[in-house]
């Protein structure tokens, strides 16, 4: 097949654009969530009534019942985060801004059972755009890179696409998969190493290393 000079020029142009776009996306700095302040009768023991934080100069408040409010010059606006009728937010609330929206990462509890949730919230209306259910408590601080976020909870690691709130990949049932008496109970904040994401268990040498792109487990260390 013979390509004209014009076709070759177009091919080289689009190849350069693709390369630039890919490099730009991969070069985006990663960032963690921030932790909201706890208020309650014994917040240090996770008896918490509400969490407070300020983002872009606007004070926010989230109650354990899932009511989210913000104060601004002309008044106060509130909405309800979507949680089950018998559920309450518990232990911790992490928050971050992504594009113009608010991300909220927290734990929920119903009776003795715990899990975690990631919300994407419109900061104007305070309405929830999407919800990601995380099948585990002990949720770690999330790590945002570009339009993705890396998440970890007890026995669970994952990558979620922030455009639509869908899992790009996930690995669960890790608690007893690699160790009979349990491992991967509480994770540190995930860390990026080139094209890999490292999920390290807190206060141990245990870690699981996963390909950022396809979610393939590349290495597991369990002591």
**Does the residue 200 lie in any domain?**
no
**In the chain, count of helices (H) and strands (E)?**
1, 19
**Pairing mode, if any, of strands 67-72 and 75-80?**
antiparallel
Question: Model confidence at 130, in pLDDT bands (50, 70, 90)?
Answer: very high
**Does the residue 171 lie in any domain?**
no
Compute the distance between CA of residue 121 and CA of residue 86 in angstroms, rounded to an integer.
22
Tell me how many domains the chain contains: 1
Confidence (pTM): 0.86
pLDDT at residue 199 greater than cutoff 90:
yes
**Does the residue 49 lie in any domain?**
yes
**Does the residue 78 lie in any domain?**
yes
Average pLDDT value for the chain: 90
Compute the distance between CA of residue 3 and CA of residue 148 in angstroms, rounded to an integer.
39
Range of the domain at 87: 30-139
**Does the residue 150 lie in any domain?**
no
Can you give the pLDDT at residue 85?
87
**Does the residue 24 lie in any domain?**
no
């Amino acid at each position: 097949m013979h390509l004209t000079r014009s076709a070759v020029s177009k091919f080289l142009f689009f190849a350069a654009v693709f390369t630039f776009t890919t490099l730009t996306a991969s070069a985006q700095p990663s960032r963690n969530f921030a932790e909201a302040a706890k208020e309650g009768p014994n917040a240090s023991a996770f008896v918490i009534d509400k969490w407070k934080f300020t983002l872009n100069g606007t004070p926010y408040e989230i109650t354990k019942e899932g009511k989210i409010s913000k104060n601004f010059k002309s008044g106060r606006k509130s909405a309800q985060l979507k949680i089950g009728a018998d559920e309450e937010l518990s232990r911790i609330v992490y928050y971050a801004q992504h594009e113009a929206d608010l991300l909220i990462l927290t734990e929920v509890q119903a009776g003795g059972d715990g899990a975690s949730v990631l919300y994407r919230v419109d900061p104007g209306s305070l309405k929830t755009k999407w919800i990601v259910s995380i099948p585990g408590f002990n949720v770690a601080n999330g790590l945002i890179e570009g339009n993705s976020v890396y998440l970890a909870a007890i026995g669970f690691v994952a990558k979620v696409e922030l455009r639509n709130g869908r899992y790009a990949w996930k690995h669960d049932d890790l608690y007893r998969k690699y160790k009979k008496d349990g491992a991967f109970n509480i994770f540190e904040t995930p860390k990026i190493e080139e094209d890999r994401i490292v999920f390290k268990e807190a206060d141990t040498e245990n870690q699981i290393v996963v390909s950022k792109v396809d979610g393939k487990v590349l290495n597991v260390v369990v002591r």
